[in-house]
Amino acid sequence: MYAATTIQKLALMASKPKSSRLHNLAGARWESVAKKPRMMTTNASISDSFSKYAEYLNNLNEKRERVVKASRDITMNSKKVIFQVHRIGKHNKDEVLEKAEKDLQAVRDQHVSRLVKELNGTDFWKLRRAYSPGVQEYVEAATFCKFCRTGTLLNLDEINATFLHLCDSSIEPLQINILDYLLGLADLTGELMRLAISRISDGELDFADKICRFVRDLHRELTIIVPNMDESHDMKFKMETMLQSVMKIENGQVCFYFLFVLDIELLFFVACFSVHVRGSEYIPMLGVNDPSYTLMGVPDMEL
């Protein structure tokens, strides 16, 4: 009987709005246990302290939500920057990169600054999962820009330095941690691979070669570091992908040498081969029965 009433009461309470429920709860308890002073204090202190926990959790969840949103915006806009860099060609390098850098600056000013405002103290690690994807994408975009500009790697300290002016000195500045930086670098190699392939097909062999050696170096350095990373599972997976990127660039180069050197008879084989090598990127082409895409595109200018 009691059980039934309890359940009814609980159901009733559930249907009321939160604040009134809270109030009711305290009130009802107060009455029912008025005879037992010890229980009375328990109830009061339980609901008191739970309203504190509720506030804490609400604040935390709201903050997490804002951080996730900012992170998503950073991801989206950083992706745009990366696409912008991919528009690079033989003659428009400066122009393309200038726009990319400007866009990157906008990402910092508009979106990264939102992150900076939210995070301080222990939040950087507590909410890392919420902002990590965005930051990784940003690292990818920033290092990608920098590599195309100078052919060097943008260091973690340099990235962090660009964040310093985003807030006044009262707020703790956002500092990307090593893990997110390294995860971002791992993604960078994928973009560099795409860039290298397109450079090869554009005939910019030197640039492709530069990319190739850079990616190899990056891969080698990361190989040493990865086992020591905090949660190395993600990174191990990315390393596999990275290795494949390295190989794709290498194979792309080999392909080009064949194309460059050998006569037309060979072209068919090579094209098939390159389609195979770069299968992952050209699957849509194969899907529409147009395997000659690379065959048409590559040799035109050079042969």
Partner 1 sequence: MKAFRIVPQFLPNILNPNLFPITFPKPLHIPVFLSPLSSTISTFRSVFSSSSSTPSMAESGNLTPFDGTLGTQFESFRTQLDETSNLRERIRNVALEIESVTRIMHANLLLVHQSRPVSEVLEKAKSQIGPLKEHFNRLAEIIRDCPGQYYRYHNDWKNETQTVVSLLAFMHWLETGNLLLHPEAQEKLGLNTPDFGLDVEDYLVGICFMSNELPRYVINRVTYGDYDSPRKVLNFLTDLHAAFRMLNLRNDFLRKKFDGMKYDLKRVEEVFYDVKIRGLIDNEDSKGDQGSKEQP
Q: Please, which of residues 233-262 interact with partner 1 by CB under 8 A?
A: 240, 243-244, 246-247, 250-251, 254, 257-258, 260-262
By beta-carbon proximity to partner 1, the closer residue of 84 and 222 is: 222
Q: Dmax of the chain from CA atoms?
A: 101
122 binds partner 1 (CB under 8 A): yes
Cα Rg of the chain (Å, integer)? 28
Task: Count CB-CB contacts under 10 A for residue 174.
Answer: 22
CB of 96 to partner 1, least distance (A): 21
String marking each residue 258-287 x if it binds partner 1 according to CB under 8 A: x-xxx---x-xxx-xx--xx----------
Backbone φ and ψ of 118, nearest 5°: -75, -35
28 binds partner 1 (CB under 8 A): yes
45 binds partner 1 (CB under 8 A): yes
Among candidate residues 112, 122, 103, the one with its CA nearest the CA of residue 70: 112
Q: Please, are residues 272 and 255 in contact by the beta-carbon 8 Å criterion?
A: no
CB of 76 to partner 1, least distance (A): 24
Task: Count CB-CB contacts under 10 A for residue 230.
Answer: 12
CB of 114 to partner 1, least distance (A): 20
Q: In the set 167, 202, 216, 267, which binds partner 1 (CB under 8 A)? A: 216
Q: Which stretch binds partner 1 (CB under 8 A): 83-91, 108-116, 161-169, 208-216?
A: 208-216
164 binds partner 1 (CB under 8 A): no
By beta-carbon proximity to partner 1, the closer residue of 28 and 76 is: 28
Q: In the set 16, 79, 102, 126, which binds partner 1 (CB under 8 A)? A: 126
Task: Count CB-CB contacts under 10 A for residue 156.
Answer: 19
By beta-carbon proximity to partner 1, the closer residue of 103 and 193 is: 193
Tell the burial category of 167 from Cβ atoms under 10 Å away from its Cβ (0-12, 13-18, 19+): middle
Specify the amino acid at residue 301. Answer: M
Among candidate residues 85, 81, 83, the one with its CA nearest the CA of residue 95: 85
String marking each residue 76-115 x if it binds partner 1 according to CB under 8 A: ----------------------------------------
Tell the burial category of 17 from Cβ atoms under 10 Å away from its Cβ (0-12, 13-18, 19+): exposed
Helix, strand, coil distribution of the chain in percent, nearest 5 = 85, 0, 15
End-to-end CA distance of the chain: 92
167 binds partner 1 (CB under 8 A): no
CB of 162 to partner 1, least distance (A): 16
Q: Which stretch binds partner 1 (CB under 8 A): 12-20, 75-83, 103-111, 196-204?
A: 12-20
